[in-house]
Amino acid sequence: MTVRNLTVLGSTGSIGRATLEVISKHPRRFVIRALAAFSNVDLLVEQYHAFRPQYLCLVDREKSLELKNRLRDEPVEILAGETDLVRLASLDGVDMVVNAVVGAAGMLASLETVRKGRALALANKESLVCGGPLFAPLMKTTGAKILPVDSEHSAIWQALACGRENEIRRIIITGSGGPFRRLPLDKFDEITVEQALSHPTWKMGPKITIDSATLVNKGLEVIEAAILFSMPLEKIRVVIHPQSIVHSMVEFIDSSVIAQMSRPDMRLPITYALFWPERIESDFGTLDLGRLAELTFEEPDFKKFRALPIAFDVARIGGTAPAAYNAANEIAVGAFLEGGLKFSQITEIIEKVLSDFNVVSEPNLDDILSADKNARQRARKLVEKLPCC
């Protein structure tokens, strides 16, 4: 029986908490060496007592002082800031890093994990979206594996096992379509934060929930899939599947389509990544096919959800374009959640930022970081200028 030493980054978020729940059911299979989050002191203290890691890190420095104070009598090292978050990805003796940080803030830790040749269980899709051009050569040199946690990519990964590389015709990424699939475009300006945060099938953190409503999330997943599976964009298709039961599919050259299905529960792809290459019994509920009324599929509406075709475009352009797409979206989503932007303006900001963005086609890390910074600055200015609600 292998025991895995783990670091969990973003442990206080939706995926981080689900990961620790899975781990708590298998205490003899995992040792938690480090946990990290942004500022949630209370939950990190709770997680410390449950898992007794050697290291804790909060990126927010003031909060990390508070954490230090709360755990002053405990045998734990408290780290702080972005550099320490990255350090946790390269601790000696860690076999696997689960990256469940939200946003581009997770990219450097993912790069460090791969640089060290460790297994990376990746929920933080923004890592691959922004740092795509840097990951492939690093993985070749170090032999590090990226194990997808995103349900769609986990499904594709599982379905790909049914054939050889030269037998793949295309991958088909499914998406629920979000809460506004049937809402006419002229009503998009009236969408409230509360409505956008109410996803029909998944319970997730706020940023990815808004991304799912704009279909930016599907766009990020297309870019993620292209990099993760070295798949040309012509071989990637998106279909809307409102029930979120088929998590994605692979079509092979004989026209067979292999789908992976389960209840929409992130604990399943998390378990698959944590235990891979083993499959283990899970008690998260089976799929009762007899009770499912229907499984439906439809084309995405590219006119209503422009963020999706834009993602295909930026993926085609490559270089620093996906990092700019992501950064503009992060700023726009933040502004929308704070009530400073209309829902429809999220995609508008992305389009405007990209419209005169200088793309570096073969970027190094500095190019990617400055593309991220520049796109954020430009998006912030646009948010200030746009007439809002």
Which residue, 168 or 225, is less far from ligand NAP as judged by CB? 225
Q: Which residue is nearest to ligand NAP (CB)?
A: 13
User: According to the binding rule CB under 6 A, does residue 110 interact with ligand NAP?
Assistant: no
- For 92, other C-beta atoms within 10 Å of its C-beta total 7
Distance in Å, CB of 259 to ligand NAP, minimum: 18
Which residue, 159 or 333, is less far from ligand NAP as judged by CB? 333
Q: Which of residues 59-98 bind ligand NAP (CB under 6 A)?
A: 59, 85
Site string for ligand NAP, 188-207 (x = CB under 6 A): --------------x-xx-x
Contact by Cβ (8 Å): 6, 95:
yes
Question: For the chain, first and last CA: distance in Å?
Answer: 57
Contact by Cβ (8 Å): 48, 58:
no
Of 128, 126, 363, 136, nearest in space to 230 by CA: 136
**Which secondary-structure segment (H or E) carries 223?**
helix 216-228
User: According to the binding rule CB under 6 A, does residue 8 interact with ligand NAP?
Assistant: no
Contact by Cβ (8 Å): 245, 263:
yes
User: According to the binding rule CB under 6 A, does residue 222 interact with ligand NAP?
Assistant: no
| 171 vs 260: CA distance, rounded Å | 12
Which residue, 84 or 251, is less far from ligand NAP as judged by CB? 84
> Using the rule CB under 6 A, which residue among 208, 231, 323, 328 binds ligand NAP?
208
| 226 vs 224: CA distance, rounded Å | 6
Pairing of the two strands 146-148 and 96-99:
unpaired
The burial class, CB within 10 Å (0-12 / 13-18 / 19+), for 91 is middle
Distance in Å, CB of 163 to ligand NAP, minimum: 25
In the sheet where 257-261 sits, what is the strand order?
A: 236-240, 168-175, 246-252, 257-261
Q: Which of residues 329-358 bind ligand NAP (CB under 6 A)?
A: none
User: According to the binding rule CB under 6 A, does residue 125 interact with ligand NAP?
Assistant: yes
Which residue, 155 or 168, is less far from ligand NAP as judged by CB? 155
Which residue, 126 or 367, is less far from ligand NAP as judged by CB? 126
User: According to the binding rule CB under 6 A, does residue 35 interact with ligand NAP?
Assistant: no
Task: List the beta strands (DSSP E) in 253-327.
Answer: 257-261
Which residue, 126 or 352, is less far from ligand NAP as judged by CB? 126
Distance in Å, CB of 335 to ligand NAP, minimum: 16
Q: Which of residues 267-326 bind ligand NAP (CB under 6 A)?
A: none
Q: Which stretch binds ligand NAP (CB under 6 A): 8-16, 21-29, 226-234, 332-340?
A: 8-16
- For 34, other C-beta atoms within 10 Å of its C-beta total 27
User: According to the binding rule CB under 6 A, does residue 102 interact with ligand NAP?
Assistant: yes
| 171 vs 158: CA distance, rounded Å | 12
Q: Which of residues 241-270 bind ligand NAP (CB under 6 A)?
A: 266
Contact by Cβ (8 Å): 196, 215:
no
Q: Six-digit token pair at 247? A: 């998590």
Distance in Å, CB of 79 to ligand NAP, minimum: 12
Number of residues in contact with ligand NAP, rule: CB under 6 A? 28
The residue with tokens 């209309």 is 342
Distance in Å, CB of 61 to ligand NAP, minimum: 12
User: According to the binding rule CB under 6 A, does residue 101 interact with ligand NAP?
Assistant: yes
> Using the rule CB under 6 A, which residue among 4, 23, 38, 241 binds ligand NAP?
38
> Using the rule CB under 6 A, which residue among 10, 53, 148, 300 binds ligand NAP?
10
Pairing of the two strands 119-122 and 77-80:
unpaired
- For 281, other C-beta atoms within 10 Å of its C-beta total 5
Which residues of this chain interact with ligand NAP, rule CB under 6 A? 10-16, 37-40, 59, 85, 100-102, 105, 123-126, 150, 202, 204-205, 207-208, 266
